[in-house]
A = this chain, B = another copy of it.
């Protein structure tokens, strides 16, 4: 359906080039596909590959002002070498050696950390020291100063999630250096934010103003685990509680609104009973999972990959996927769903459903 190639057309196209113009008719099929056709590809990173490289970085790469963090980003093989796990999301493994400190800074980019194993690091967010331990989900919403320090003689690693690609792509980011050391080396069991906000169904009268991001610095594993355990027990009792048979799940929320923890990132935790296989889904937007416990597999675009503890996998937009649990299977999940939903681009297709 393209115009005939004539000298006149070539002159026209040269005129376009000379004036920083491009026709739609030569590219519409690529630019506006029938359904999302992401350059990003489904991919699995094995924890058994990631962790030793992080360890080696601990030996070879200092942490400090300038480099800021000993963080190694997962680069989606489809995205041409950019350190983007999806077009919107950044995911990295961060490693902090014994007694090390990562200096304070702040940025518009929203960040979280999730701890698949270990303990001993405190992240200090706007002066509030927050303990990091296995299973905890921790927040550093945009423009909060933060640094980390390891209070032990053991190294510790965790994953970071941020909206760096989205911020970079859309030119929205600001960055500022803070203290070279963290501003408070205390190591309390619970942060001040938790002490104010982690009482179910209760809101402090000193915090009646809704906030853009959650005021909770750490979502503790003990609560996540209890919530999932109760869902499966209720399912055993024949009560509605799980989203699908054998599939319990919670979303981390901002208690001031009941909505997502940050404006750009959704985070959830999923638990499957052994033997559960979820229906095949396609969703607009991109998502990342990390296996927290158990063994199973993910099927993406028909291809099955076996998964062990710590493994990280990415599901780009509109890729068909399902999970299979060999043992009881726990997975942390994050995605760009708030971006997609706030801009009204969300769609889901569940195979076999109407």
Q: List 25 A-B contacts (CB under 8 A).
A: A1-B64, A9-B61, A12-B57, A16-B53, A19-B50, A21-B74, A36-B172, A36-B173, A38-B171, A142-B345, A170-B336, A172-B284, A172-B285, A172-B343, A174-B347, A196-B227, A199-B226, A199-B227, A200-B219, A200-B223, A204-B227, A204-B250, A205-B243, A210-B258, A212-B344
List residues of chain B with CB within 8 A of the CB of A88: 170
Bound: A167/B240 CA distance, A: 32
Bound: A168/B3 CA distance, A: 25
Q: Is the CB of B171 within 8 A of A242?
A: no
Would you give the 0/1 interface string for A250-284, flagging 1 where the beta carbon is closer than 8 Å to chain B?
11111111100001100010000000000000001
A70 at the interface (CB under 8 A from B): yes
Q: Determine how many copies of this chain the complex contains.
A: 4
- Which of the 9-residue segments A113-121, A230-238, A298-306 touches chain B? A230-238
Q: Is the CB of B204 within 8 A of A249?
A: yes
A348 at the interface (CB under 8 A from B): no
Q: Is the CB of B223 within 8 A of A34?
A: no
Q: Is the CB of B196 within 8 A of A344?
A: no
Q: Is the CB of B167 within 8 A of A345?
A: yes
Closest 6 CB pairs of A and B: A1-B66, A25-B67, A171-B317, A172-B345, A199-B227, A22-B83
A146 at the interface (CB under 8 A from B): no
Which residue of B is nearest A43, CB measured?
Answer: B20
A224 at the interface (CB under 8 A from B): yes
A54 to chain B, nearest CB (A): 9
A352 at the interface (CB under 8 A from B): no
Q: Is the CB of A77 within 8 A of B20?
A: yes
A24 at the interface (CB under 8 A from B): yes
Would you give the 0/1 interface string for A64-94, flagging 1 where the beta carbon is closer than 8 Å to chain B?
1111111111111100010100011000100
List residues of chain B with CB within 8 A of the CB of A15: 53, 56
